[in-house]
Structure 1
């Protein structure tokens, strides 16, 4: 008897779902955590969205515009932000779900998703909409809007809350004295900030003002940052700076390879009026499971993490080497800098070792390379590339594959 057509369809669907599940699981092992971290830090630079119109504004030099950014002191705002990230990675939005209960916060195994650390991977790919609000240093709120659900991070005084409406789970911690001290470790004046930025530009970067734009109904200048280094994968960064407040409104990072932006993040609507105090109120809903965490997990504070990473990118290898994980070193400086560390283990298994569709997927993400260092695999995105050698050494940077191999050879 000939098989039923509907049975064939069901069998094909089951096979497709199985292959998709294997691909999601494989991505867990082959996507370097550094890629997600850098993506999150890059997104944290400034909010943004597409421009509409070229307003007629007074002429301004690059140095004056940098000083204007540094002098910006917007304490109160609210609005909607749209973020699109295209690193060339698989969609990571459902990665936590594919890993099952073990993906719960802090290894709890309960599948709770209120810990902010678990949300960073979602911003590493795709398009996301956020609502933001701020009222000074002690009140901020960011809500990630999802299909029929919402995830919010709220900082109100000493309390920091994370709430996931989908799982009705809550993460709570308090802002620490260490967090407050870190806020004081900034250069003394806006002029100091501007001079530091322009000193770096003399060596590795070109900074110019190229026209104007209108973002979320605000007139803005376009500040264009272009690396001079040949080995970097960064093409240019364009920042739309509000002409009145100096607040960056638009951030677009395009790769040296061309094509769509790697990161395009920004305001679709913004107001500088004082948000209502109730915006930052939060009480755990009835029946919600509350997880208490330490201050290092506070959305952190994720903003502080982003600031530190941006400082590393601006100042090059010295800062990254001092503040990175134990055993991490940095080769070179500026846009060509490469972070390297030794995992103490073996390299990435080959597709043949993993087997099946997962093995084929793993091989499709990485390129086998060899040199004086031996052999290894380069995992590629449109911005960050990582070389993992067969003896467990890792080289990561916004640089080309050839630059990673050269660094590994020099490391030998």
Structure 2
């Protein structure tokens, strides 16, 4: 491959994408690699010397290796560490049975509901035990010191089980892995596609490679006892909070083994997810079997939806109540502008539409994130994490993206 033959690289990627499409949920879609290779101007950087000593490979070839991976069966242990720079969430523990819980009130909802349980991955360090056998059978278990939560997909059955409370969630999957709204019995907000493996994280990262990105090979590594190449993805735009993404790719079969997202501000990773143990043999069929334990409380998906409908305040603002959503910019510095998403008041107002409805613990948490800013747009508050920042103006317009505070203020000024 010629060092800078981008046309040849593009055509090869297109041919690859046309010839080898796969439908399995646990295989990185070739369309992702095709778009990435065709648009990010890949430089065939050779793998630097390192341990282990592997044959040289270009970034283009490594992306093709990921795309060509036919891994559909595996099991192993994944360690995920997330550090968004948020204050401790312990003060919100008392809200578990309140308005932030599934169902919206004490005694309602289910502790085994996936949309609530898997959100724990948004902070701290967690250990997952995973297993996959093609597109129809997967299992993810979130391990705790004295308890375990498991989410199991087996054919058309979806089960969630929380051993700490002995509660069970049950839903149906009609076999379509792409969400289609009311055509499925499962709730629309159920995070079926929430990334939990390095491959899924890598897939999302490659979707963002759109001509604003540098992709190179950054050496080699050993992950879970396997030799791997390191694919390094870096935004080339100023203003992004993403510094670099590193994906460790199995040298033998092309499966991503580790995903690390480092912030542009420096310091430890915002997200680090990688296998500590991995086995590519077919998991035992019994891995995906589940029967509710004796005495367990079982909540059906449609029952949970009815509970939410009856407990959600009528005045709650859903997307249909917003004035509209616009996307400003492109690539890594894209900013979503949402009109009417908030009232701009988190100060504990007494009227029902403002801060008075926010529990004190949540109010304190929100206040700890806020940073007052002003500009041509007027004034507002920036809520910051190490990755995603949001500016809420006093007139209720929200600007949000994986960009710096200055980028949000600039976008708000230019929108006026």
What is the TM-score with the length of structure 1 in the denominator? 0.72
Q: 1:79 aligns with which of 52, 76, 80?
A: 76
Match of 2:234 in 1: 226
Q: Offset at 1:100?
A: 2.8
Counterpart CA distance in 2 for 1:231 and 1:397 is 10
Residue 382 of structure 2 corresponds to residue 378 of structure 1: yes
Match of 1:122? 120
Q: Please, which of 389, 396, 399 is the counterpart of residue 395 of structure 1?
A: 399
C-alpha RMSD of matched pairs (Å): 3.2
- Unmatched segments (≥5 aa) in structure 1: 1-43, 46-52, 183-196, 298-324
8 Å CA contact retained: 1:85, 1:125: yes
Q: How many residues align?
A: 324
Task: For 2:377 and 2:273, locate their aligned partners in 1 and report how far apart those are by CA, in whole Å.
Answer: 39
User: 1:352 touches 1:359 (CA, 8 Å); kept in 2?
Assistant: no
Aligned partners of 1:212, 1:290: CA distance in 2, in Å? Answer: 47
| 1:239-254 equivalences in 2 (<5 Å) | 239-254=247-262
Question: Which deviations, in whole Å up to 9, do the C-alpha atoms of 1:76-104 show, x marking residues without a partner?
Answer: 10000100000001233774543434444
CA distance change for structure 1 residues 346 and 246 in 2, over 3 Å: closer, same or farther?
same
Task: After TM superposition, give the deviation of residue 346 of structure 1 in Å.
Answer: 1.0
Counterpart of 2:164 in structure 1 is 166
Cα displacement (A) at 1:276: 0.8
Please list every run of 5 or more consecutive structure 2 residues that lacks an aligned counterpart in the other structure: 1-27, 30-49, 181-204, 306-321
The whole-number CA distance in structure 2 between the counterparts of 1:403 and 1:333 is 13
1:62-73 pair list within 5 angstroms: 62-73=59-70
The one of the two structures with greater contact order (alpha-carbon pairs below 8 A, sep at least 6) is 1
Paired residues of 1:351 and 1:362 also in contact (CA < 8 A): no
Residue matched to 1:211: 219
Separation in 1, partners of 2:91, 2:327: 33
Q: 1:120 to 1:410 in 2, by over 3 A?
A: farther
Q: CA deviation at 1:198?
A: 8.9
Change (3 A) 1:358 1:336: closer
Q: Is the 8 A contact 1:170 1:290 kept in 2?
A: yes
Q: For the structure 1 residues 180 and 205, does the alpha-carbon distance in structure 2 shift closer, same or farther, using more than 3 Å as the test?
A: closer
Q: 1:288 to 1:102 in 2, by over 3 A?
A: farther
The answer as to 2:327 corresponding to 1:330 is: yes
From 241, 244, 249, the counterpart of 1:236: 244
Q: Is the 8 A contact 1:222 1:238 kept in 2?
A: yes
Q: Aligned residue for 1:290?
A: 298
Q: Sort the Cα spacing of 1:84 and 1:156 in 2 relative to 1 into closer, same or farther, 3 A.
A: same
Q: Distance in 2 between matches of 1:231 and 1:148?
A: 43
d(CA) in 2 for partners of 1:154, 1:114? 12
Compute the displacement of 1:291 (Å).
Answer: 1.1
Name the counterpart of 2:289: 281
SS at match of 2:294: coil
* Counterpart secondary structure, 1:291: strand
Q: Deviations over 1:225-267 (max 9, x none)?
A: 1100111011000000001110000111100010000001110
Shift of 1:329: 2.0
Q: 1:71 to 1:295 in 2, by over 3 A?
A: farther
Change (3 A) 1:340 1:178: farther
Any idea what SS the aligned residue of 1:238 has? Answer: strand
